[in-house]
Amino acid sequence: MNASKRISKRGTRAVTLRTAGLSLRLDVRGAVVGLLLLVVALAMSVVLIGTGDFPLAPADVLRTLAGNGTVAQDFIVNELRLPRILVGLLVGAALGMAGAIFQSISRNPLGSPDVIGLGQGSAAGALAVIVLVQGDPTEVAIGALGGGLLTGLAVYTLAWRRGVHGYRLVL
């Protein structure tokens, strides 16, 4: 693997990693920030796993995660608290990715579903199902999804003029 450093016109450092069929340009600042955020998330996870009705010290949490805890600690950490922490981290990552995808689709760094009205459309769809057909929770969720999709389609259609640009879609 070959690595070369380069300073771009903006003054940011980038490292290019090259192999036989792959070239990867890595922004040093972004990688450092991402690594620091990962360390903070892991440290907070250890602290949060230790909090609750049966408190555990961070050293006990780490010992249990390594497989050297008591039976009670193993149950509390691995069966009750760790799955919740992992799901929370994964849901947070999924929401972050959804926001990034939404901003790239709308081509606007300030774009969000509430600006375009998707949340209000979803609420209207759910309310329509509740009022009109007295739907169960599954039907209400489907109505919310349909209302959000219809609102998104309406906004996209209204913003259309020889293509949709990010600023036009948000405004």
Q: What is residue 166's predicted lDDT score, i.e. its pLDDT?
A: 56
Domain count, the chain: 1
Three-class SS of residue 116? helix
Mean pLDDT of the chain: 85
| 127 assigned to some structural domain | yes
Domain that holds residue 150: 109-171
Query: What is the rounded CA–CA span in Å between residue 18 and residue 100?
Result: 27
144 domain-assigned: yes
Is 89 inside a domain boundary? no
* 61 lies in some domain: no
Would you say residue 52 lies in a domain?
A: no
The pTM of this model reads 0.63
pLDDT in tens, 97-122: 988 888 887 777 777 777 777 889 99
Q: What pLDDT, in 10s, does the model give residues 10-23?
A: 556 888 888 888 88
Half-sphere exposure of 87 (CA within 13 A, CB side): 7
Using the predicted structure, report yes or no on whether residue 168 has a pLDDT greater than 80. Answer: no
